[in-house]
């Protein structure tokens, strides 16, 4: 029998324990920022009907046309691994009546699947954190989503490393008129287009504006601009978005060539881009999609949202050398035969202090136990030797040269441990630019 292939599927990476502190740090920052803007969590399935994405994202898009994982299940139904979260979120919101005469702010988090060519920052299974804001057509909703994203970057200490680009796509009618004019123009220059652009000319000409091919870019430079086709209301909407962003102190640039790879967008679209990651520099992207709810059979409902790429945020932290430490982990050192006395003490301390305790295993002289404590990368060794146990005390020895050891009553331990910064597992310590003092290094 052939040997079992023990490699992960290409483009679907494992995320190892050493990387998780960055992930936890990012996830926590996202959830906290979303909560301060009154977004609530919704959990959505990873599998939906293929048709949902075909109709929602658009048949002509790369995502649906080239990248979607689809399969027939045992009933013969065509299903797809979700390539993004918006279509499923709208489906769920409609199915459960969440959009009926109400404003709804939702966030979701989880893996998405696209059969793209894997490279740094681009995977076939990747995680998104998405925000979807339903029911408000005014520019303030656009700006609130952008402010929430801004708050995330501030919280994570990444704001100096990202730039916001915005554009407007206007209404579907505006896009249609622009599209006709664009196709007519590009057809005049068709002999200078590459194969990809020629194919897009038929299915999604707007995407040609996004081409990275320098020859195509020269042609695109003189192509009819969507901005020249905008109606009064669309222009006004976009101007108000810009005015509000400026008043909120959010820096941005207008990028007239910014088009997105999904068909559902209308009016405002945006991308937050970093230069720290190379080619895959978009760390958050989104826009308005005022027509999608109606297209899915609901009442006309304006909506705007975005999604962050979590791998890319974690990579940014790594690239920026954000130090990761296991803060406040305790390595418990004790004589092997005292385990029955030690266990209830530690059980109590775990519960009351919510800190991390690692019990020494397999006994050994104290010297050996200290060596293991160093190897376990703990901040402190706590010693419960015969003397301490007899006097109901505990000795705390800071490791990594962080000060002198001291002894305290066991009844005082929890109060001491609780005042140490950070009760949660391990997180990335502050970047130099982090604004939050509580994240100062321990």
Binding stretches for ligand HAM (CB under 6 A): 84-86, 114, 116, 122-123, 126, 128, 130, 132, 261-262, 282-287, 289, 305-307, 309, 311-312
What is d(CA 95, CA 298) in angstroms, rounded to the nearest whole number?
9
Q: Least distance to ligand HAM from the beta carbon of 338, Å? A: 50
Assigned token pair, 427: 């997180």
Q: Least distance to ligand HAM from the beta carbon of 18, Å? A: 20
Q: Least distance to ligand HAM from the beta carbon of 274, Å? A: 10
Contact 130, 303 (CB under 8 A): no
Residue 131 or 333: the one with the smaller Cβ distance to ligand HAM is 131
Beta bridge partners of 253: 165
Residue partners of 260: CB distance under 8 A and separation at least 6: 169, 269, 271, 285, 287
Residue 307 or 327: the one with the smaller Cβ distance to ligand HAM is 307
Residue 260 or 439: the one with the smaller Cβ distance to ligand HAM is 260
Residues in the chain: 442
Contact 47, 81 (CB under 8 A): yes
Residue 281 or 398: the one with the smaller Cβ distance to ligand HAM is 281
- Strand duo 329-333 + 380-383: pairing: parallel
Q: How far is CA 343 from the centre of its chain?
A: 39
Q: Least distance to ligand HAM from the beta carbon of 115, Å? A: 9
Closest residue to bound ligand HAM by CB: 309
Residue 292 or 322: the one with the smaller Cβ distance to ligand HAM is 292
Q: Least distance to ligand HAM from the beta carbon of 50, Å? A: 17
Q: Least distance to ligand HAM from the beta carbon of 130, Å? A: 5
Q: Least distance to ligand HAM from the beta carbon of 164, Å? A: 12
Q: Least distance to ligand HAM from the beta carbon of 74, Å? A: 28
- Strand duo 303-309 + 266-274: pairing: unpaired
Q: Report the number of secondary-structure helices (H) and strands (E) in the chain.
A: 15, 18
Assigned token pair, 432: 């130099």
What is d(CA 261, CA 307) in angstroms, rounded to the nearest whole number?
13
Residue 237 or 355: the one with the smaller Cβ distance to ligand HAM is 237
Collapsing DSSP to helix, strand or coil, 356 comes out as strand
Q: How many CA atoms lie within 13 A of 25 on its CB side?
A: 32
Q: What is the largest CA-CA distance in the chain?
A: 92
Residue partners of 179: CB distance under 8 A and separation at least 6: 205, 206
Residue 89 or 373: the one with the smaller Cβ distance to ligand HAM is 89
Contact 79, 73 (CB under 8 A): yes
Q: What is the Cα Rg of the chain in Å? A: 27
Contact 26, 313 (CB under 8 A): yes
Residue 302 or 335: the one with the smaller Cβ distance to ligand HAM is 302
- Strand duo 162-168 + 266-274: pairing: antiparallel
Residue 288 or 397: the one with the smaller Cβ distance to ligand HAM is 288
Reported in sequence order, the residue ranges of 155-258 that DSSP labels E, i.e. its strands, are: 162-168, 253-254
Q: How far is CA 42 from the centre of its chain?
A: 15
Q: Least distance to ligand HAM from the beta carbon of 45, Å? A: 16
Residue 169 or 346: the one with the smaller Cβ distance to ligand HAM is 169
Residue 143 or 332: the one with the smaller Cβ distance to ligand HAM is 143
Residue 310 or 428: the one with the smaller Cβ distance to ligand HAM is 310
Contact 50, 70 (CB under 8 A): yes
Q: Least distance to ligand HAM from the beta carbon of 437, Å? A: 29
Assigned token pair, 369: 């136990």
Assigned token pair, 136: 């408000």
Q: Least distance to ligand HAM from the beta carbon of 330, Å? A: 37
Collapsing DSSP to helix, strand or coil, 325 comes out as strand
Q: Least distance to ligand HAM from the beta carbon of 301, Å? A: 14
């Amino acid at each position: 029998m052939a040997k079992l292939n023990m490699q992960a599927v290409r483009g679907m990476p494992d995320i190892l324990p050493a990387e998780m502190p960055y992930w936890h740090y990012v996830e926590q920052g996202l959830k906290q920022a979303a909560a301060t803007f009154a977004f609530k969590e919704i959990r959505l399935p990873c599998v939906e009907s293929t048709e949902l994405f075909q109709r929602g994202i658009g048949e002509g898009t790369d995502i649906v046309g080239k990248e979607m994982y689809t399969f027939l299940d045992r009933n013969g139904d065509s299903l797809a691994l979700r390539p993004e979260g918006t279509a499923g979120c709208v489906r769920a919101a409609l199915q459960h009546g969440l959009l009926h005469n109400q404003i709804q702010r939702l966030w979701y988090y989880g893996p998405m699947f696209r059969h793209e060519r894997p490279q740094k920052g681009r995977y076939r299974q990747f995680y998104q954190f998405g925000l979807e804001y339903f029911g408000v057509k005014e520019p303030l909703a656009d700006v609130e989503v952008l402010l929430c994203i801004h708050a995330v970057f501030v919280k994570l200490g990444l704001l100096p490393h990202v730039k916001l680009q915005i554009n407007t796509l206007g209404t579907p009618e505006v896009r249609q008129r622009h599209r006709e004019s664009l196709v007519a123009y590009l057809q005049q220059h068709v002999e200078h287009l590459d194969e990809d652009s020629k194919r897009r000319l038929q299915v999604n000409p707007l995407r040609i504006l996004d081409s990275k091919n320098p020859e195509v870019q020269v042609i695109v430079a003189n192509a009819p601009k969507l901005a020249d086709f905008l109606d009064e209301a669309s222009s006004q909407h976009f101007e108000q978005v810009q005015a509000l962003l400026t008043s909120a102190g959010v820096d941005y640039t207008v990028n007239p060539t910014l088009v997105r790879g999904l068909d559902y967008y209308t009016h405002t679209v945006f991308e937050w881009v970093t230069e720290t990651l190379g080619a895959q520099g978009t760390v958050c992207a989104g826009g308005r999609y005022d027509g999608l709810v109606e297209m899915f059979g609901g009442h006309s409902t304006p909506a705007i949202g975005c999604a962050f790429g979590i791998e890319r945020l974690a990579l940014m932290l790594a690239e920026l050398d954000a130090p990761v430490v296991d803060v406040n982990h305790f390595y418990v050192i004790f004589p092997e035969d005292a385990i029955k006395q030690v266990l209830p003490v530690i059980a109590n301390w775990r519960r009351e202090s919510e800190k991390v305790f690692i019990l020494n295993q397999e006994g050994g002289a104290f010297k050996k136990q200290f060596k293991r404590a160093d190897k376990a990368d703990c901040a402190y060794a706590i010693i419960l030797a015969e003397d301490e146990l007899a006097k109901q005390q505990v000795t705390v020895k800071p490791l990594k040269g962080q000060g002198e050891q001291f002894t305290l009553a066991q009844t005082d331990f929890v109060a001491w441990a609780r005042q140490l910064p950070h009760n949660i597992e391990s997180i990335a310590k502050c970047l130099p630019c982090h604004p939050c003092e509580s994240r100062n290094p321990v």
